[in-house]
């Protein structure tokens, strides 16, 4: 594989912006990674080297050299069934089942969504984006292992840059369904609380004073005795954000083994997994700027839990 070059023309509205921040926003790459590339001399403006703190000039053509990933993939294709909800030349949207890890990590080197995607690519030759490296081919965002639902996968580097930029600019709308413990008082609400590493349990996240700004919107879909079904909009995308935010207001997600306790951790009768599902995605096509909307209904194992709760409500009535 060869190095890639990303070229961006600076618009008038970006005058004076720091080079590292502008390039990170334009490319969808993390600012820390962009700063490292700039420190290696990989960013130029009209052929002249730039520093991270240099201001950009309207009309200038910035070129960022992105080094190639490892020459050969280190992960093998695996025939793992995937439900494809949407696909075109730019991207694939899959309905990830609960229990499937998004990408390889220590303890989960095989049996991941990435392994399944590599097998799919080998069959149809559709390609996968390479910007995130060989560990995450085409991966734009992730879902927790125990969360089911919609996940975007880029087929080209250009699509991956576009989708990452849309995520960073909060132009991709992600909606979830969650069953939570207790009776949520407000019909519509918004949780704004910073999220960072839990200082007492470093493997967990928590609402912390020095955390990153985080916002989750919600509305009540259905009420049951002791439980509430919520539709949530993930406005920012922090690790475990929905689970942490809901637990912080006293309504943890049913079946959450990390952030819930007691009856909430067990969930209602019949629940055997986390009741959290990414059910809708809205984004702009990387190629033609058209609106793409994808939906995935609740899995049967979650619908059956709601059916039990509805039946119990009818009996009480």
CA 123 centroid distance within chain: 26
Sequence length of the chain is 317
Q: Which of the residues 90, 95, 144, 157 is marked catalytic?
A: 144
Q: Give, in order, the Cα–Cα distances in Å from 5 to each of 63, 87, 90.
A: 6, 26, 19
Sign of the Cα torsion 281, 177, 112, 124 reads negative
Q: Which two tokens stand for residue 87?
A: 């696909």
DSSP 112-143: SHHHHHHHHHHHH------TT-TTSTTB----
| Calpha distance 128→297 (Å, rounded) | 26
CA–CA dist 242, 253 (Å, integer): 8
Question: 157 an active-site residue?
Answer: no
Identify the DSSP state of 14.
G
CA-based torsion, 187, 193, 195, 200: positive or negative: negative
Q: Three-class SS of residue 251?
A: coil
Closest CA to 94 of 167, 154, 162, 170: 154
- What is the DSSP code (8-state) at residue 78? -
Do the Cβ atoms of 288 and 157 come closer than 8 Å? Answer: no
Q: How far is CA 257 from CA 59, 150, 169, 263, 278, in A?
A: 52, 22, 32, 11, 18
Residues labelled as active-site residues: 144
């Amino acid at each position: 594989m060869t190095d890639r070059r990303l070229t961006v023309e600076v618009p008038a509205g970006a005058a004076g912006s720091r080079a590292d921040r502008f390039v990170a926003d334009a490319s969808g790459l993390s600012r820390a990674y962009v700063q490292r590339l700039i420190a290696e001399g990989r960013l130029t403006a009209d052929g002249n080297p730039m520093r991270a703190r240099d201001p950009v000039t309207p009309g200038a053509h910035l070129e960022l050299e992105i080094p190639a990933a490892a020459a050969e993939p280190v992960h093998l294709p695996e025939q793992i069934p995937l439900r494809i909800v949407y696909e075109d030349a730019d991207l694939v949207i899959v309905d990830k089942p609960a229990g499937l890890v998004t990408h390889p990590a220590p303890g989960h080197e095989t049996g991941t969504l990435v392994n399944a995607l590599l097998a799919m690519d080998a069959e149809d030759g559709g390609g996968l984006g390479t910007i995130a490296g060989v560990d995450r081919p085409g991966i734009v965002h992730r879902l927790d292992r125990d969360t089911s639902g919609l996940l975007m996968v880029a087929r080209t580097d250009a699509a991956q840059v576009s989708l990452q930029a849309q995520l960073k600019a909060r132009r991709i709308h992600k909606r979830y369904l969650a069953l939570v413990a207790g009776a949520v008082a407000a019909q519509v609400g918004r949780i704004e609380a910073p999220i960072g590493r839990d200082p007492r349990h470093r493997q967990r996240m928590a609402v912390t004073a020095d955390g990153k700004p985080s916002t989750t919107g919600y509305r009540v879909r259905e009420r049951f005795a002791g439980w509430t079904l919520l539709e949530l909009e993930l406005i920012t995308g922090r690790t475990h954000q929905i689970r942490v935010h809901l637990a912080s207001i006293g309504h943890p997600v049913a079946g959450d083994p990390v952030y819930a306790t007691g009856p909430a951790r067990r969930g209602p009768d019949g629940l055997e997994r986390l009741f959290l599902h990414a059910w809708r995605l809205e984004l702009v096509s990387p190629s033609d700027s058209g609106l793409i909307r994808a939906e995935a209904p609740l899995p049967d194992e979650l619908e059956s839990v709601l059916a039990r709760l509805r039946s119990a409500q009818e009996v009480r009535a």
